[in-house]
Structure 1
């Protein structure tokens, strides 16, 4: 299937349209032989891959976390759903088995890097699985130090209400130090540079696009690339983004270290420039 032609200004990464089908909300903007309203669903798996094509070996563009809402535009007989993530608008293919009905609505989110889901309120029980930072869950009751959900029991100290926000994005990002680099990843099992930035900002109540070029265009106000920089500034290169952690250090998920790493600012700028990517922009939130 050849990709659709989008009018200027519509980004194919976040435009729910194919040559044969488009979201109803795009009627009049993108030509398609058929438009659908879609059905809202929620991610039931700890993480769900969003792939470029409906195949397990297709490139991973991003991930959806447990409890995230998606709009399902089409589900095929091979077990794939063509979806759009409601949080950041990203479009792609997700395993249908990772999705469940939208209700009940989440009430809490996971604030630990990972937390175990137990079949009962007892740490000695074999866990059913683990949910990553940012996952959303529906709390239905309380049993001692645990909160019950429709899926099992979670340690109450690892959860916060959806209305609670972290205070500082760089501090959130620093919790992920040592996390392996994963292109398209958004969890504490692996994430990429823009996934780290998006995750840290969202934890602080700041909505952020998914990819670094989108973040460069949408976030903050421009700062002179020669500095000086402040904690929380975002540094952008072609295809890469990093947090300024302090005037002389940066924090980023990167393929050089294959991990979330802290680096001295000057040597990092020189190393990246020597690889052919000069600092392009600085944005201050």
Structure 2
């Protein structure tokens, strides 16, 4: 059954990329557009300028639900990513374009029934336990529906668009969280992403941006957050500066403009007003934990608590 317009669908590739328009795609974006969407190869082939280009809006993980709003004759689908809230752009979710081949129809009773989450930075789904790889590049935070109990250290899972279960190491999975995370859990997940390269619109261990880091951290811990920094600040509870604590968020904006950068507080404020955060930094082209430099402090507009 094909994906239809005005219907829900699910992502069938490990990491799908959401584009501003199909016409914004560049020749060296081809690896991200294929049937398997090789995001690792795509990011590796981008220079720093293209990693920071704004033609990419966000990314979608395997099994993520979308609402298909249009399908073009050239194979592109316009979707709303309903699991990535974006009140500013569309109250239904985050809108954008991706190849229709990256989507599969919703299967009643399977999709939406995720009970486990990928806890490895990157893993692969195989045809059989320790068998040939069918779907490489599955990343941290991907939610999956089990297809049975573990067998010799391997776990079968349902995957969109495939009739037979695929397998991955049981150690690469964790139970889907059922309670709000602690600050220590938030920082533990975010810290694992230190060193990941910066990618505008990125939402995976292959590349990530500032709001993607916040969204993915809480997604791994079972908490849905908006996709963009300004929406994340608006959806969280303001905290008076000086009262922030580890696990809160720092928001940054220029005078008269909306929040453009966000990071995770990693330490209590120290004497001399020293502040520290973990964030995906465009200037350093990677995720890092650091003391707020002067240029960041100059645009710090608030702290927020999830």
Q: Which bin holds the TM-score, normalised by the shorter protein?
A: 0.7 to 0.9
Which deviates more, 162-171 or 95-104? 162-171
Q: CA deviation at 1:278?
A: 1.5
In the alignment, what sits opposite 2:196? 179
Which deviates more, 145-154 or 188-197? 145-154
Going from structure 1 to structure 2, the CA distance change for 1:114 and 1:140 (only over 3 Å counts) comes to same
Counterpart secondary structure, 1:182: coil
Counterpart secondary structure, 2:147: strand
Determine which of 233, 237, 261 is the counterpart of 2:252. Answer: 237
Does residue 95 of the first structure (1) align with residue 99 of the second (2)?
A: yes
Q: Greater RCO between the two (CA within 8 Å, min separation 6)?
A: 2
In the alignment, what sits opposite 2:174? 160
In the alignment, what sits opposite 2:16? 48
* Contact in 2 for aligned 1:43/1:65 (Cα 8 Å): yes
* Contact in 2 for aligned 1:216/1:236 (Cα 8 Å): yes
Determine which of 80, 87, 94 is the counterpart of 1:84. Answer: 80
Q: CA deviation at 1:73?
A: 1.2
Name stretches of at least 5 consecutive residues in structure 2 with no aligned partner. Answer: 27-53, 85-92, 158-163, 254-259, 269-274
In the alignment, what sits opposite 2:153? 145
What is the distance in 2 between the residues matched to 1:249 and 1:280?
15
What is the distance in 1 between the residues matched to 2:215 and 2:156?
28
Determine which of 232, 255, 258 is the counterpart of 2:282. Answer: 255
Query: Any residues of structure 2 matched to 1:22-33 within 5 Å, and which?
Result: none
Q: Normalising by structure 1, what TM-score?
A: 0.78
In the alignment, what sits opposite 1:209? 226
Cα distance per residue 1:239-269 (max 9 Å; x no partner) = 10011111252100111211110102xxx24
Cα distance per residue 1:206-241 (max 9 Å; x no partner) = 221111111111112x2223x143101211112100
Q: Normalising by structure 2, what TM-score?
A: 0.73
Going from structure 1 to structure 2, the CA distance change for 1:136 and 1:202 (only over 3 Å counts) comes to closer
What is the distance in 1 between the residues matched to 2:105 and 2:165?
14
Name stretches of at least 5 consecutive residues in structure 1 with no aligned partner. Answer: 1-35
Going from structure 1 to structure 2, the CA distance change for 1:128 and 1:211 (only over 3 Å counts) comes to closer
